[in-house]
Chain A
């Protein structure tokens, strides 16, 4: 079945460590997104990519990095520079050509900093 796969589902990190969250889609979507979810704040955009080898910062990009070397993959690295990384992270994709605006989401990854 087509969809978006995020891994790992749960991740624990010690302070000062970088971690990478995986996001893979087999929907043949052009655009991919990373959102962060905190209680009471909804979803906030970290980074997005509309095409391979290109990506843009969202509203809260500081302390994060991404790459888009393949259409199917959009990994997110949470660096040690991110001051409050404990959160739920959601990856999404969309088919830019349709311009419907609908995003399809993965099941999310919960990161906890110990």
Chain B
């Protein structure tokens, strides 16, 4: 079974600075999807960014980008120009291309933005 590990329970960053959240995963599959979800205090999960494993190019969405290292099974999220609204729990998730579209989540990283 696949597992996802986020080794940083909490992170903090100064407003306007850059922060990187770490995620590693374990799988024997060669093709899969990886996601970063944000959970603000409202508790609703919001998709931040998605990466398909067959794509070598790292995904980017505005201030959010990933560093996808397939051989190392690493999938970190970089947030540039951090804003107060970025404060949230961030979850890394894995999805197998086989069967149902269920996601396996990491434990989450709580990100605090210091003004």
Number of interface residues of B (CB under 8 A): 24
Taken residue by residue from 1 to 23, chain B's Cβ proximity to chain A (1 for < 8 Å, 0 otherwise) reads as: 00010100100000000000000
Most chain B beta-carbon contacts within 10 A, residue among A41, A42, A44, A100: A42
How many whole Å from B65's CB to the nearest CB in chain A? 18
Question: Is B73 interfacial (CB 8 A cutoff)?
Answer: no
Given contact pairs A101-B35, A105-B45, A45 touches B102 in the complex (Cβ within 8 A): yes
**Contacts of B92-115 to chain A: CB distance below 8 A:** 95, 97, 100-108
| Chain B residue at smallest Cβ distance from A56 | B100
Contact between chains at A48 and B44 (CB < 8 Å): no
Number of interface residues of A (CB under 8 A): 27
Question: Is A53 interfacial (CB 8 A cutoff)?
Answer: no
Where chain B touches its partner, the secondary structure class is loop
- Compute how far the CA of A106 lies from the CA of B44 in the bound complex, rounded to whole angstroms: 6
- Compute how far the CA of A42 lies from the CA of B105 in the bound complex, rounded to whole angstroms: 6
- Residue from the list A99, A102, A107 in contact with B44, Cβ < 8 A: A107
Question: Is B68 interfacial (CB 8 A cutoff)?
Answer: no
- Compute how far the CA of A50 lies from the CA of B98 in the bound complex, rounded to whole angstroms: 13
Q: Could you say which residues of chain A place their CB within 8 Å of the CB of B43?
A: 88, 107-108
- Compute how far the CA of A42 lies from the CA of B44 in the bound complex, rounded to whole angstroms: 14
Taken residue by residue from 35 to 63, chain B's Cβ proximity to chain A (1 for < 8 Å, 0 otherwise) reads as: 10000001111110010000000000000
